[in-house]
Amino acid sequence: MFLRTTTNIFIFFIFFFTTTATSTLSQNNTNFSFSFPSFTLRNITLLGDSFLRNGLVGLTLSTTVPASSSGTLFFNHPITTTPSLSLSTNFTFSITNTTTSATPSSTFSFFLNSSHTLLSLNFHPNQNHLTLDLNVSSNSSISNSTSVDLSTDTPITSWVDYHHADKKKLQVFLNYSSPATSKPQNPVLSVDLDLYRYFKDSLYLGFSGSTQGSTELIQVMSWSLEFESNSHLLINGSSSPSSVAVEGIPVSSNSTQGSKNRGKRFLFGLCVAIAGPAFFCLVLVVLGYVSFLKWRGLRKKKCFGTVGCCPKEFGYKEVKLATKGFHASRVIGNGSFGTVYKALFESSGTIAAIKRSRQYDGKTEFLAELSIIASLRHKNLVQLLGWCVEKGELLLVYEYMPNGSLDKVLYQECEGGSPNHVLSWVHRINIAVGLASVLSYLHQECEQRVIHRDIKTGNILLDGSMNPRLGDFGLAKLMDHDKSPVSTLTAGTMGYLAPEYLQCGMATEKTDVFSYGVVVLEVACGRRPIEREGQKMVNLVDWVWGLHSQGRIIEAADRRLNGEFKEGEMKKLLLLGLSCANPDSAQRPSMRRVLQILNNEGGVSLVVPKEKPTLTFSSGLPLSLEDIVSDAEEELNSGQVVCEIKID
């Protein structure tokens, strides 16, 4: 971002210098006008993220994930103002939200800019009003709402008129664009203003657009302008006439002085003749280098898309060297995103975990994970160190978790581990509290709540002190706190999916609560969500609820603990797991309430019905039974046991 901003400023400086250097040679008429029914790169300059496509200028990037973007368009030639100036301009623009879930947060501006003053007319679609800002010592600002919906995808035409003779008044008109767009009779904004008071030198005109954490595309479709003055007007230079000899005034006969003057003029001409081409060549070299950098950046954006800010971009060679060429001996795990490698960066001595996927296999998951986790900060989240997009690879660099995933630690005895390495009760309680803390943060404390959608022991990693760290945001979804959940394709791991999520594919924070409840029961019981007993599949939630209905819930405790736990704490954790895994989502507690219960805050005991509530699904499932069975077969083939689905 710093390189791009610096480059844009440098390009503008070169442009301004060369324009000013050449503009003093030409004059124009007092009446000046131009019209761009569609745009080309002739007579305009684009800065920042702005781009030209099919005759339209885009000021911001079109993305499918919330991001920040800004760009500028301005007319190449400055206009010299006079006390009796008149200006009329109209332009057509559109502000399109490329996704329906992102909140509009953008600004589109038409500006007049000189060396000392900036006047901008700002259009705010999220608040549906305009603001006229004049950046002078008084810092005046005038706002007004409009009946024209600025957030609609329909193109909008604006007229901006200023007439010195008409009481020095600036007026703004708005209307929806159509094949026969007409200028309204009444302005949406009318301000008494003397432009010449603030703009007494060269004046630039143009547009700017910016987005903050949104997916809006701002485009300028056409632009026309008429400029009039009763004084001699220069489009781009000085009005001072060249020196001429006037008849009747004698010329000095001092030959020595004349010779010196001629020598100075010759030397000046020689310097211009030499320095001009040299400077021009230098400009070409600089612009060529800048164009190369921009081309390389555009290639990466075209391949990858815009994802917002990230801690660091790693080089592909650096990552490949750290993983010994992605050698099989460095593989430490596999997931829905791809393969995970252990990496050692010798230059810094840092040990990291690299998640790797081919670009066209996991691009959607990669973008989702990167855009979400890069903006999150919590002690129980896996820290993102950086990313890399090269050679058709998508790579995420995370801090390394030496104790691996919770499922491997929890079930290591079943897989040949030593009984001496059974996860202690203190660590299990700490895991339940830490996971509740981070989910409460994601659901209630973020600016936009995050629904993880894949809470399971395989996605919970343990650091060197056995503290839990939640990772794998490849299926996560951002959602505003005041928005209703959006139905999507069901994604996640069988055994952890809430019944209503399987039935209608609607992800909410309560689906995460259900998955958390299953994890808590796993931690307390030392059993997987679904286990095969002979020819029968046993669901962990059903099994624990059966013991609870018989008053024997404490028998669900992991036998490998050999009773080394507090019975009251064990019973509370088991009941909390059942409460979170309630089939009725309305009866599940929020994660903030779960955290309060674990920390013994609030003084309210858990009430869990003796019999597991039944849930009746309506007919016509958005997910077909074939889809569910297909997902189940995939889980079985991957070595995971799936649950049995019953629909009443």
- Catalytic site residues? 454
| DSSP SS3 for 71 | strand
Amino acid at position 56, single letter? L
Distance, in Å, from the CA atom of 112 to the CA atom of 119, rounded to the nearest integer, reads 5
Tokens representing 552 are 């024997």
Residue 326: Cβ-neighbour burial (10 angstroms; 0-12, 13-18, 19+): middle
Contact 156, 177 (CB under 8 A): yes
User: What's CA 262's distance to the chain center, in Å?
Assistant: 63
Distance, in Å, from the CA atom of 60 to the CA atom of 81, rounded to the nearest integer, reads 31
Tokens representing 446 are 């973020």
Q: Rg for the chain (alpha carbons), in Å?
A: 34
Distance, in Å, from the CA atom of 408 to the CA atom of 417, rounded to the nearest integer, reads 10
Bind-site residues for ATP: 355
Tokens representing 362 are 């996991």
Bind-site residues: 355
Q: Where are the alpha helices (DSSP H) in 458-532?
A: 499-504, 509-525
Calculate the dihedral angle through the C-alpha atoms of 313, 389, 309, 379, rounding to the nearest 10 degrees. -70
Q: Where are the alpha helices (DSSP H) in 128-254?
A: 195-198
Distance, in Å, from the CA atom of 519 to the CA atom of 405, rounded to the nearest integer, reads 13
| DSSP SS3 for 223 | strand
Tokens representing 107 are 């600004």
Instruction: Name beta bridge partners: 71.
Output: 48, 209
Strands 216-229 and 85-97: antiparallel
Which helix or strand (DSSP H or E) is residue 68 part of? Answer: strand 67-75
Amino acid at position 27, single letter? Q
Using left for φ > 0, alpha for ψ between -120 and 50, and beta otherwise, residue 608 falls in beta
Cα 554 to Cα 121, 321, 455, 573: the distances in Å are: 69, 51, 25, 10
Distance, in Å, from the CA atom of 163 to the CA atom of 15, rounded to the nearest integer, reads 30
b/e code 284-310 from CB counts within 10 Å (16+ = b):
eeeeeebeeeeeeeeeeeeebbbbbeb
Beta strands in 365-483 (DSSP E): 384-390, 393-399, 449-451, 460-462, 468-470, 477-479
Using left for φ > 0, alpha for ψ between -120 and 50, and beta otherwise, residue 367 falls in alpha
Amino acid at position 503, single letter? Q
Per the listing, tokens 């509370």 go with: 572
Nearest 5°: the CA angle 378, 382, 387 is 115
Q: CB atoms < 10 A from the CB of 31, how many?
A: 11
Per the listing, tokens 């501006």 go with: 109
Phi then psi for residue 571, to 5 deg, are -65, -40
Beta strands in 420-553 (DSSP E): 449-451, 460-462, 468-470, 477-479, 530-533, 536-539
Q: Taking the CA atoms of 504, 507, 508 and 513 in sequence, report the sign of the dihedral they define.
A: positive
